[in-house]
């Protein structure tokens, strides 16, 4: 990883000019992590928490319960910043959904380093707070929403992240499979599939092939998702 790479990344992620000196100090800490599609990332030290930046591609954090029970706790898209979970209760791993390029900094050293620049510290924390809030929203979804609400919420949130406005509505090309959707929503693939079908029959979405979805009715999908309108 070069200082320039990092400066470009931070500019894209945080809308912030990283001073040269800070860039090189961070580079000294940082680890490039390249993950191939379908592979598991090997973070150097599983006992250390990492701050993860996504430069390219799509990845996921997965918690494991045994008996093939998996829960996706976050999808990471390009220009995301988040914290890789560390817990004595659940083992987590980081998987590439597509080939992807990440930067992982040991949290302790990273925080210590960026503290020298309050603007940078604020921008990084802001992103961590957003990720934290998403996790709380996920708890509400998983604890209290119905299958239909979960799928509608998922589509709404993906539309906000990667959707493109066009004539019919908002179109998105899902980079993730039904299994991964199910694993993130606490459902089975069959239930996810049935909910896609139902949303299509209700005229709220349209689908094309496995991954293309168009949200035809932005208001109604929010309603069905139990989101504030």
Partner DNA sequence: CGCACTCTTGATATTTCTCAAAATGGGTGG
Partner DNA sequence: CCACCCATTTTGAGAAATATCAAGAGTGCG
Q: Which does residue 61 touch among DNA, a second copy, none (CB within 5 to 8 A, set by kind)?
A: a second copy
User: Is 186 one of the binding residues for a second copy (CB under 8 A)?
Assistant: yes
Structure tokens at 156: 């709404």
Q: What is the DSSP letter of 40?
A: B
> Which one, of 40, 39, 43, lies nearest residue 106 by Cα?
43
User: Is 178 one of the binding residues for DNA (CB under 7 A)?
Assistant: yes
Of positions 188, 217, 218, 227, contacts DNA by CB under 7 A: 188
Q: Which does residue 188 touch among DNA, a second copy, none (CB within 5 to 8 A, set by kind)?
A: DNA
Number of helices (H), then strands (E), belonging to the chain: the values are: 8, 11
Q: What CA–CA distance (Å, rounded) separates 172 from 187?
A: 22
Q: Please count the residues of this chain forming the interface with a second copy, following the rule CB under 8 A.
A: 57
Binding mask 76-95 for a second copy (x = CB under 8 A): -------x-xxxxxxxx---
Of positions 37, 129, 165, 210, contacts a second copy by CB under 8 A: 129
Interacting stretch for DNA, rule CB under 7 A, among 1-9, 100-108, 132-140, 182-190? 182-190
Structure tokens at 117: 């620049």
For residue 156, the SS3 value is helix
- Cβ-in-10-Å burial (0-12, 13-18, 19+) of 118 comes to exposed
| CB-based contact 33:43 (threshold 8 Å) | yes
Rounded to a whole number, what is the distance in angstroms from the first to the last CA of the chain? 43
| Binding interface with DNA (CB under 7 A) | 146-148, 177-179, 186-194, 196-197, 207, 209-212
| Binding interface with a second copy (CB under 8 A) | 49, 61, 63, 65-66, 69-71, 73-74, 83, 85-92, 107-108, 111-112, 114-118, 121-122, 125-126, 128-129, 131-140, 142-145, 153, 157, 183-186, 226-228
């Amino acid at each position: 990883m070069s200082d320039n790479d990092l400066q470009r990344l931070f500019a894209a992620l945080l809308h912030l000019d990283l001073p040269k000196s800070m860039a090189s100090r961070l580079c000294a800490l940082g680890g490039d992590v390249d993950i191939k599609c379908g592979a598991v990332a090997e973070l150097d030290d599983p006992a250390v928490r990492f701050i993860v930046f996504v430069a390219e591609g799509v990845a996921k954090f997965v918690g494991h319960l045994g008996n093939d029970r998996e829960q996706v706790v976050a999808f990471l898209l390009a220009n995301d910043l988040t914290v890789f979970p560390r817990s004595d209760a659940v083992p987590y791993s980081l998987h590439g959904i597509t080939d992807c390029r990440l930067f992982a900094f040991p949290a302790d050293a990273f925080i210590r380093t960026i503290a020298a620049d309050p603007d940078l510290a604020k921008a990084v924390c802001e992103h961590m707070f957003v990720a934290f809030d998403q996790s709380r929203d996920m708890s509400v979804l998983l604890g209290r929403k119905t299958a239909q609400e979960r799928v509608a919420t998922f589509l709404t949130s993906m539309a906000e992240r990667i959707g493109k406005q066009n004539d019919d509505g908002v179109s998105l090309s899902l980079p993730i499979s039904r299994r991964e959707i199910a694993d993130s929503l606490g459902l089975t693939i069959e239930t996810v599939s049935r909910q896609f079908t139902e949303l299509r029959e209700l005229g709220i979405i349209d689908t094309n092939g496995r991954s293309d979805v168009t949200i035809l009715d932005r208001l109604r999908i929010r309603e069905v998702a139990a989101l504030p309108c």
